[in-house]
Amino acid sequence: MSGQAIWAIARADFLERTRRYGFFVTLLFAVFLGYQTAVGHLFMQLDSYRGVYTSGWIGALMAMVITLFVSLSGFYIVKSGVQRDRETGVGAILAATPLSRPAYALGKWLSNFAVLAAIVAVLALAALVMQFVAAEDTHVNLWALLSPFLLVALPAMALTAAAALCFEILPGLRGGIGNVVWFFVWTFALSLPVAKENSPLDPLGMITVMRALTAEAKKYIPGYKGGIAFQIDVGHHAQVAQDFRWAGIAWTWESALGRLAWIAVAAILVAAVSQLFDRFDGAQAGRARRAPAAPAPPALNSPARGLPAIPAAHAMKLAEVAPGSSFPAFAQMVVAELRLALKGYGWWWYAVALGLLIAQIASPLSATGVVLGVAWVWPVLVWSGLGTREKTRGTQQVVFSCPEILARQFPAAWIAGILVALLCGAGAGVKLALAGDLHGLSGWLAGAIFVPSLALFLGVWSGTSKFFEGLYMALWYVGPMHHTPRIDFTGSASGANAVRYALLYFALSAALFVMAWLRRRVQINGLR
């Protein structure tokens, strides 16, 4: 394995990424996160208090922001390096060179890591700015401020970069399924060390920060017994414990090396998983069927006697076609989009969807929200194709050169997405209707329209399905699964405000559809 080859792969991939528009958006995302933290919309709370904004506190806070947000979203941001090589055909060229699997994988991992490190760098800068803007403690201790970035955030990013690459390499996890699975893996990685506080497994560094912070906080916050709440809120601020001027994590050689070891773990993981990499050999590895014996070929020097002429194609005999009248043609378009969206799933997919439908009807009305939530996570890959299918499958030129795309095909695809939501959630809908729960029914309908609208919007604007897959899973987890009012798009957590929130979701869906439509218009008019 040559270091030069690893460096070359990493450098080329990083340069390619940084010269794309997406990298600029990634940096904007980092600036946005930094800003939200600096203005106090993201904060750590110990009971109802927080410490003074010292270098130590701000460094740890930013490290937690990275651990919580960038480790999840960063996966979706960097999971594209191998896919790009497949799509551009560069992979086929690389496969024909002596480049080893580990060298390729480590190069791609380093590039992933560099992109995530760029986000960390932006947030480190934001941390410095934040200390001056907050001005609660103007003494800057650079080590206390930056060490959480180096020793907490960067190892976590190395692991995220490795996970993204491993998911791209492993055949079953390459596509949308992997994007959904990552959400659960990430949730598990976060919850495991928190559930077992003394566990040495702390890949994302949360326990490191928590232990250091809570031990010190007990001395200054009366009645504080431990635990940290990480808050995302607008208009709600923790009280400042004025005496708690935290100097930051007291690193020892042992604890620092323990954190840095996760970078080595990430590299080892990548090298190990690379052995399963197919080296861009897309051919199915199934057993070849025995072909019937072919007749012996004629000798090359045998005279060509009685060769049949190549049959001419008689185009003029083709049946005539006429444009369909507007409504049947639109209905036909909706059916075609629905068929396209649902194509490619095995019988088991439909069996599970049917099972979830029965569960909605069989479950008590009080549990409808959760069951509906589960039923609406099942078609996530159907929705994530909305707005992106033409790009990912390369049918843009063929489809966009057809007439009235914006008036027919685009809304038809959206309606097909809504129909999928209505069909998969029909059990809950029927149940709410039979119970005469019109408020609940309005929430159900709003949710069925909102989810495909979000998918269409994110798909058209980002050109990829993974952002919807990631964001939707996060929304689904916080909303329907945790019954969080406002975020629960099924409407089951809205209580007396069900109609109000349903109207809000209807309006939001309309806005998302309009924005998606406007973007598609630009794409179709070739104004990109």
Q: Is 234 in the site for other proteins (CB under 8 A)?
A: no
| CA–CA dist 29, 70 (Å, integer) | 10
In the region spanning residues 408 to 467, those forming contacts with other proteins, defined by CB under 8 A, are 408-409
Which listed range, 46-54, 119-127, 401-409, 460-468, lies at the site for other proteins (CB under 8 A)? 401-409
- What lies within 8 Å, CB to CB, of 179 at 6+ separation is 76, 79, 384, 465, 466, 469, 470, 473
Pairing label, strands 42-45, 229-232: antiparallel
Nearer to other proteins, 289 or 314 (CB): 314
The one among 254, 305, 317, 327 contacting other proteins by CB under 8 A: 317
In the bound complex, what is the minimum distance in angstroms from residue 463's beta carbon to other proteins?
A: 14
| CA–CA dist 183, 472 (Å, integer) | 10
Q: Is 88 in the site for other proteins (CB under 8 A)?
A: no
The one among 292, 298, 303, 394 contacting other proteins by CB under 8 A: 394
Tracing tokens 């007990």 back to the chain, one arrives at 218
In the bound complex, what is the minimum distance in angstroms from residue 261's beta carbon to other proteins?
A: 43
SS3 245: coil
Nearer to other proteins, 107 or 176 (CB): 176
In the region spanning residues 8 to 37, those forming contacts with other proteins, defined by CB under 8 A, are none
Q: Is 222 in the site for other proteins (CB under 8 A)?
A: no
Cα–Cα–Cα angle for 344, 173, 395, nearest 5°? 45
Nearer to other proteins, 7 or 345 (CB): 345
| CA distances (Å), origin 15, targets 7, 105, 381 | 12, 17, 31
Nearer to other proteins, 227 or 324 (CB): 324
How many binding residues for other proteins (CB under 8 A)?
A: 44
Please report the sign of the dihedral spanned by the C-alpha atoms of residue 192, residue 194, residue 197, residue 203. positive
Tokens found for residue 466: 């993974």
| CA–CA dist 191, 55 (Å, integer) | 27
Nearer to other proteins, 360 or 384 (CB): 384
**Axis-axis angle for helices 410-424, 498-524 (nearest 10):** 150
The one among 321, 347, 366, 436 contacting other proteins by CB under 8 A: 321
| CA–CA dist 452, 442 (Å, integer) | 16
The one among 291, 314, 348, 364 contacting other proteins by CB under 8 A: 314
The one among 146, 405, 420, 448 contacting other proteins by CB under 8 A: 405
Nearer to other proteins, 219 or 314 (CB): 314
Please report the sign of the dihedral spanned by the C-alpha atoms of residue 445, residue 473, residue 343, residue 402. positive
Q: Is 522 in the site for other proteins (CB under 8 A)?
A: no
Q: Is 114 in the site for other proteins (CB under 8 A)?
A: no
Nearer to other proteins, 20 or 393 (CB): 393
User: What phi-psi label fits residue 226: left (phi over 0), alpha (psi between -120 and 50 degrees) or beta?
Assistant: left
Tokens found for residue 330: 């639109």
Of residues 472, 484, 346, the one with CA closest to residue 421: 472
The one among 404, 438, 484, 510 contacting other proteins by CB under 8 A: 404
Nearer to other proteins, 234 or 321 (CB): 321
Tracing tokens 């000798």 back to the chain, one arrives at 299
User: How many other CB atoms are there within 10 angstroms of residue 202's CB atom?
Assistant: 24
The one among 15, 215, 229, 329 contacting other proteins by CB under 8 A: 329
The radius of gyration of the chain's CA atoms, rounded to the nearest angstrom, is 27
Per-position x/- string for 281-310, each x denoting binding to other proteins as judged by CB under 8 A, each - no binding: -----------------------------x
Q: Is 393 in the site for other proteins (CB under 8 A)?
A: yes
Cβ contact 103:9 at 8 Å: yes
Q: Is 126 in the site for other proteins (CB under 8 A)?
A: no
In the region spanning residues 336 to 375, those forming contacts with other proteins, defined by CB under 8 A, are 336, 339-340, 343-344
The one among 285, 291, 300, 322 contacting other proteins by CB under 8 A: 322
| 239 phi and psi angles, rounded to 5 deg | -70, 145
Nearer to other proteins, 296 or 322 (CB): 322
Q: Is 313 in the site for other proteins (CB under 8 A)?
A: yes
Nearer to other proteins, 299 or 312 (CB): 312
User: How many other CB atoms are there within 10 angstroms of residue 511's CB atom?
Assistant: 12
- What lies within 8 Å, CB to CB, of 414 at 6+ separation is 386, 452, 453, 456, 513, 516
User: Which residues are near other proteins by CB under 8 A?
Assistant: 310-325, 328-329, 332-333, 335-336, 339-340, 343-344, 389, 393-395, 397-405, 408-409, 525-527
